[in-house]
Amino acid sequence: MKLNKDNKLIFVLLFPMLILLLWVGYVSWLTYVGKTVKLPGSGYDPRDLLSGKYILLKIDWEKADCKQFYDNICPQEEFEKVYRYYAPEDETQTMEKSINTDSPEITMEFTYKRGKMPILKEIYFDNKVWKDYQKADK
């Protein structure tokens, strides 16, 4: 099949959108079929000028409740060692202040399916969704 100039343009424009749609569909499916697990964590601001404003979050496996996983075993190898939470500068400054001064209990909520990469869905400070904790802190 020979593509003319118009068909090539349509293909070039639609192909990236198709790939994006497939990726969003996969992540949505994984979120839907995955199990929600909450893991304790710790965080800090690494002060990296080149990468922008973010907070590094690390899972504290010693405090983790492994009963929420299959076979009651924490699958540490399936999770990242460190997660980066990117946010607008004003949010990360408030988050950094909270972490450094208030020392809140940090909990990370993931969608987990065995054999698939876990997806970080939400961050909690002292059992409050981060956004609610930020509003109460102001």
pLDDT in tens, 72-99: 899 999 999 988 877 777 676 677 777 7
The total number of residues shown for the chain amounts to: 138
Which amino acid is present at 41?
G
Query: Which percentage of the chain shows pLDDT scores above 70?
Result: 82
Close Cβ partners of 91 (under 8 Å, ≥ 6 residues apart): 134
Q: Given this model, what pLDDT does residue 49 score?
A: 52
Token pair in block for residue 68:
């929420």
Q: How many other CB atoms are found less than 10 A from the CB of residue 120?
A: 17
Q: What is the mean pLDDT of the chain?
A: 81
What's the CA gap between 74 and 61, in Å, rounded? 8
Q: In the block, which residue shows the tokens 């904790």?
A: 133
Query: Please, what are the averages of pLDDT over each run of 10 residues along the chain (138 residues)?
Result: 75 91 87 87 64 78 92 91 78 71 84 88 85 66
What's the CA gap between 61 and 63, in Å, rounded? 5
**Distance spanning both ends of the chain, measured CA to CA:** 63
Q: Given this model, what pLDDT does residue 66 score?
A: 93
Q: Given this model, what pLDDT does residue 16 score?
A: 92
What's the CA gap between 58 and 55, in Å, rounded? 10
Q: Given this model, what pLDDT does residue 21 score?
A: 93
